[in-house]
């Protein structure tokens, strides 16, 4: 014992480096014997815990296997492939006008909405309340633990900033769940069973607007216009069109399941709207039946709860409840793409700077799919089982797309026309074709332009105001006034005709184009305007042209005339064929004999189609060069004392010559002699004139930003008889027509309802005079006296600014220009500069100098090494230009001499701008 104690207390011997060896097997066995039973107990406990873990893991794997097996069996045997009826989901079960009652009685919202509608209608006259409450709903994934991303905060703030009288409500995931539990317990099970967070977000937005009403907006949507300017007092459901695609594959690549689908990220609705109830019912029913719409998970979501379902349901309700039916409380307005569907960057014909944009979309990384939180394990199981089922059926990833493409093609065959709610008061719908399926006129796809902007006018940006519709329909008087008559020749899709009918006027619409005629007749029926609009399916001309004319030549005969047709229209063979079918193509085609023609129609004089008892307030002619002959056919109407006070004519000199009208200016002279002395024009020639006159004002400097704002481009320009040749200077080469607005003041003075004509056309003067029709009148009236005080600009530019203001279409501008435009107002001179003037940028500096002086004309190089041209403008400006040409020139030029010839005085300018020409 003493020896053992001594052994334990003595220090261990110091080991050498070569003695530091690992334990041998024998040494390890001796240590285990020394440790006794404690190691065995630990080992047994460890093995027991390990067995428990293995059992728990096996149980979880078994449960997962059962779930996977059930889901795979559902995919394989429950629905072997997406059902066509599920994918189509067209209008078989669309709600009848009273069909929403059964849905609204589930939670009583229908009855409360009906009572509120009646009370609002009683207070509408005094306060003009909205049927859509002033509430904005937005959702965000997570709660306080997941704050809103900083990048989204400015977009959220825009809704409060532009809508101060509106309430903004933000919901997180828990708020959404509590809302569904308390407000829609019948949908709670379906809401929970939706596998993806984005699907639950879609479901919630429909439910919250169904219950409370208001506007739903995604967090990445930026408000650009006050909602009160978009949503009318009688609106009960408002949505907007999204980007349109020419073919199904392009749509799928962009993440769309319709070639033309609605924006689902922003919409507005009144409480209890039947369309919102149907959306919720369809989602719940689809979850209950385990419907599978596509083997592709993303496409399945878009069809189950997203834009596909949203588009189908709203289209069905828009067909049954057009906004023109004002007695219908559940009208649906589908706004042009510019309103809710504008992108954050210029694309597909839209720009963020477009004045019609109400909402801009700023998609974040992953879009709505990535902002709804991470996928839960049910969704993970769903994705895995979908992939297993797809592989079991030997499907390729592209198979789902091919199936969807086939379905989209079938759907498009069934849906040929789509409603677009025009920005007009009162509201009405235009039915348009899909992209590329309609008719092209004046170089534009009219249906696509109407879908994008809700308006269209040749050669003018759709956002410009006042438009032709504003001017013509405004001149006829508003709703509740005397019923007048519009004659619309070449009505096209019927924008002007339907706008007049929406205000209670009667319309004679003449149209023969197949696609335009289809859309026009469908729009008339859709809006319920059959009693107001009479469609005449005939081509018009002069009395000498009455008889049968060819509108569809045979293939062999058409080839010889296609060249002339295409060159005259400037829009390609397709557009040329459309004009021939409308009855207003080249004269050589229409004069073909019957044996060379597949289809002929009768051409008649328009005056015989209008009853003598009709009081025609406005006549519009869009005839692609046949306008002269058409107006000759209306000569009995135009020459009588109660002639139409307003004429609107699309002017295309090149097409007029192709149609056989040799001297286009003769038409204007004839109309001027009839008393249509107030002439305005809109289009490229107007824009060029305005730019030429105001260019020098901008370059001179010394003008405040407020004064520069007064130089904003007007939509309409004044046109006096001495300026008629300006329409030939550019119009003869232009591919697009100029729109002329002619007013007979003698007739207008005797009409009590034509005050709108002056105000409508006077609005075009807001460009030069500083913002309103009244100020335009004051400015134009001061033109004869210089107008320095009236304009508040330096004396150096006051006269030029006054001249620019006189171009604008208003009544006082005509009288002012008549005072100031005596003989000798303008001067013209031809010149030729000799010396070193080529290769030294002489022409570029000449153009810059001429524009700074407000001159028009041209310059060009000659084979003799000189530069020649012509300048026109005010006499003092021409003299300054002559001095510059003779003594200054460009910095590196050497001027030997400058010859001036053919110096003369002008009553009006013969050019619209100063440009360079090629020799």
Which residue has better confidence, 18 or 122?
18
pLDDT of residue 162: 94
Catalytic site residues? 843, 861
- What DSSP element (H or E) covers 562? helix 555-569
Res 507: pLDDT: 96
Q: Round to whole Å and give the CA distance between 648 and 683.
A: 13
Q: Give the residue with greater pLDDT, 811 vs 376.
A: 376
Confidence band for 772, pLDDT divided at 50, 70 and 90: very low
Q: From CA 810, how far away is CA 763, in angstroms rounded?
A: 8
Q: Does residue 872 have a pLDDT over 80?
A: yes
Stretch among 89-103, 238-252, 749-763 having the lowest mean pLDDT: 89-103
Q: How far apart are CA 737 and CA 569, in angstroms?
A: 10
- pLDDT tens string 226-250: 999 999 999 999 999 998 888 888 8
The arrangement of strands across the sheet holding 539-541 comes to: 539-541, 597-605, 547-553
25 or 424, greater pLDDT = 424
Look at residue 273 in the predicted model and tell me its pLDDT. Answer: 96
Whether 464 and 481 have beta carbons less than 8 Å apart is answered as: no
CA-based radius of gyration for the chain: 37
Calculate the alpha carbon distances from 683 to 474, 695, 731 in Å. Answer: 20, 18, 10
Both structure tokens of 479:
């709703």
What would the two tokens of residue 906 be?
A: 């002008």
What is the rounded (10 degree) CA torsion for 414, 298, 332, 411? Answer: 0
Q: Which domains does the chain have, with CATH numbers?
A: 85-414 (3.90.550), 420-662 (no CATH), 674-820 (no CATH), 826-917 (3.30.70.100)
Which pLDDT score is estimated for 585? Answer: 86
Residue bearing tokens 């379905």 = 407
Report the C-alpha gap between 901 and 829 in whole angstroms: 6
pTM across the whole model = 0.69
Confidence at 752, pLDDT banded by 50, 70, 90? very low
Residue 765 has pLDDT above 60, yes or no: no
Torsion (CA) 224, 225, 230, 232 in degrees, nearest 10: 140
Return the closest-CA partner of residue 555 out of 514, 512, 598.
Answer: 598
> Given a cut of 90, is residue 176 above it in pLDDT?
yes
User: Across residues 262-288, what is the average pLDDT?
Assistant: 94
Quick one: pLDDT band at residue 539, thresholds 50, 70, 90? very high
The answer to whether 280 and 179 are in contact (CB under 8 A) is no
Q: How confident is the model at residue 617 (pLDDT cuts 50, 70, 90)?
A: very high
How far, in Å, CA of 515 to CA of 521, rounded?
10
Q: Grade residue 701 by pLDDT with cuts at 50, 70 and 90.
A: low
* Residue 442 pLDDT exceeds 50: yes
Number of H-type helices and E-type strands within the chain:
41, 29
pLDDT band of residue 758 (cuts 50, 70, 90) is very low
Q: What is the dihedral of CA 573, 576, 582, 588, to 10 degrees?
A: -120
Question: What's the pLDDT score for residue 728?
Answer: 80
The rounded distance, in Å, linking the Cα atoms of 583 and 610 is 19
> Cα dist. 361→158, 222, 267 in Å?
12, 6, 13
Which stretch of 56-65, 118-127, 238-247, 402-411 has the lowest confidence by average pLDDT?
118-127
Reduced to 3 states (helix: H, G, I; strand: E, B; else coil), residue 627 is helix
């Amino acid at each position: 014992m003493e020896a053992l104690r001594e052994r334990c207390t003595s220090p261990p011997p110091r080991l050498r480096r070569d003695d530091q060896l690992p334990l041998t097997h024998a040494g390890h066995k001796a240590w285990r014997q020394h440790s006794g039973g404690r190691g065995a107990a630990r080992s047994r406990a460890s093995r027991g815990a390990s067995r428990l873990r293995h059992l728990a893991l096996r149980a979880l794997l078994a449960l997962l296997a059962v779930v996977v097996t059930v889901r795979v069996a559902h995919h394989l045997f429950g629905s072997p492939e997406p059902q066509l009826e599920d994918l189509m989901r067209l209008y078989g079960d669309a709600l009848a006008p009273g069909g929403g009652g059964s849905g609204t009685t589930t939670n009583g919202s229908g009855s409360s909405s009906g009572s509120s509608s009646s009370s609002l209608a009683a207070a509408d006259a005094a306060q003009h309340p909205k049927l859509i409450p002033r509430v904005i709903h937005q959702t965000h994934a997570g709660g306080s633990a997941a704050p809103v991303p900083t990048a989204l905060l400015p977009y959220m703030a825009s809704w409060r900033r532009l809508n101060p009288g509106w309430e903004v409500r933000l919901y997180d995931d828990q708020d959404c769940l509590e809302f569904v539990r308390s407000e829609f317990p019948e949908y709670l099970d379906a809401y929970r069973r939706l596998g993806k967070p984005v699907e639950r977000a879609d479901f919630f937005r429909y439910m919250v607007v169904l219950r409370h009403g208001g506007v739903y907006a995604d967090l990445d949507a930026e408000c650009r216009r006050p909602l009160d300017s978009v949503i009318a007092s009688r609106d009960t459901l408002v949505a907007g069109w999204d980007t349109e695609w020419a073919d199904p594959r392009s749509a799928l690549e962009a993440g769309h399941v319709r070639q033309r689908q609605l924006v689902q990220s922003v919409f507005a609705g009144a409480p209890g709207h039947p369309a919102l109830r149907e959306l919720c019912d369809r989602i719940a029913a689809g979850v209950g039946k385990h419907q599978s719409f596509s083997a592709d998970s993303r496409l399945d979501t878009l069809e189950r709860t997203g834009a596909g379902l949203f588009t189908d349901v709203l289209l069905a309700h828009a067909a049954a409840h057009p906004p023109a039916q004002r007695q219908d409380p559940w009208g649906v307005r589908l706004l042009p793409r510019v309103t809710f569907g504008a992108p954050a960057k210029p694309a597909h014909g839209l720009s963020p700077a477009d004045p019609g944009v109400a909402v801009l979309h700023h998609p974040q990384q992953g879009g709505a799919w990535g902002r709804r939180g991470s996928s839960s394990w049910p969704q993970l199981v769903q994705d895995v089982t979908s992939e297993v089922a797809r592989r079991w059926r030997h499907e390729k990833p592209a198979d789902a797309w091919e199936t969807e493409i086939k379905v989209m093609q079938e759907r498009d065959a069934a849906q040929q026309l789509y409603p677009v709610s025009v920005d007009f008061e009162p509201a009405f719908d235009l039915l348009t074709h899909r992209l590329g399926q309609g008719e092209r006129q004046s170089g534009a796809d009219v249906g696509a332009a109407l879908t994008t902007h809700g308006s269209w006018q040749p050669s003018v940006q759709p956002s410009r105001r006042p438009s032709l519709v504003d001017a013509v329909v405004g001149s006829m008087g508003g709703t509740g006034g005397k019923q007048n008559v519009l004659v619309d020749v070449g009505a096209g899709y019927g924008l002007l005709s339907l706008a007049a009918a929406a205000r209670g006027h009667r319309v004679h619409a003449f149209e023969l184009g197949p696609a335009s005629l289809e859309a026009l007749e469908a729009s008339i029926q859709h809006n319920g305007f059959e009693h107001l609009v009479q469609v005449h399916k005939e081509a018009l001309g002069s009395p000498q042209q009455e008889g049968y004319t060819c509108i569809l030549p045979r293939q062999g005969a058409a080839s010889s005339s296609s060249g002339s047709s295409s060159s005259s229209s400037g829009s390609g063979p397709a557009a040329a064929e459309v004009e021939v079918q409308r009855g207003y193509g080249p004269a050589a085609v229409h004069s073909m004999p019957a044996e060379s023609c597949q289809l002929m129609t009768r051409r008649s004089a328009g005056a015989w189609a209008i009853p003598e008892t009709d009081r025609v307030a406005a006549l519009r002619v869009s005839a692609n060069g046949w306008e002269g002959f058409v107006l000759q056919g209306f000569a009995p109407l135009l020459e009588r004392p109660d002639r139409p006070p307003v004429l609107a004519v699309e002017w295309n000199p090149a097409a007029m010559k192709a149609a056989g009208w040799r001297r286009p200016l003769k038409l204007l002279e004839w109309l001027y002699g009839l008393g249509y002395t107030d002439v305005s024009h809109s289009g490229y020639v107007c824009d060029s004139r305005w730019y030429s006159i105001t260019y020098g004002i901008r370059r001179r400097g010394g003008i405040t930003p407020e004064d520069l704002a007064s130089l904003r481009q007007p939509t309409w320009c004044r046109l006096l008889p001495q300026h008629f040749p300006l329409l030939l200077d550019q119009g003869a080469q232009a591919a697009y027509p100029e729109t002329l607005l002619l007013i007979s003041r003698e007739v207008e003075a005797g009409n009590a309802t034509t005050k709108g004509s002056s105000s409508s056309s006077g609005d075009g003067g807001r460009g030069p005079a500083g913002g309103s029709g009244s100020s335009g009148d004051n400015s134009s009236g001061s033109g004869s006296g210089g107008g320095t005080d009236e304009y508040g600009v330096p004396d150096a530019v006051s006269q030029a600014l006054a001249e620019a203001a006189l171009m604008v279409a208003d009544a006082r501008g005509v009288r002012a220009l008549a005072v100031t435009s005596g003989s000798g107002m303008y001067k013209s001179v031809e010149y030729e500069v000799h010396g070193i003037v080529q290769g030294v940028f002489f022409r570029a500096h000449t153009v810059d100098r001429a524009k700074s002086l407000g001159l028009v004309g041209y310059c060009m190089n000659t084979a003799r090494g000189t530069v020649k041209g012509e300048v026109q403008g005010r006499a003092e400006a021409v003299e300054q230009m002559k001095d510059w040409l003779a003594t200054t020139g460009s910095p590196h030029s050497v001027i030997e001499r400058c010859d001036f010839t053919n110096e003369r005085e002008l009553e009006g300018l013969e050019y619209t701008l100063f440009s360079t020409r090629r020799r």
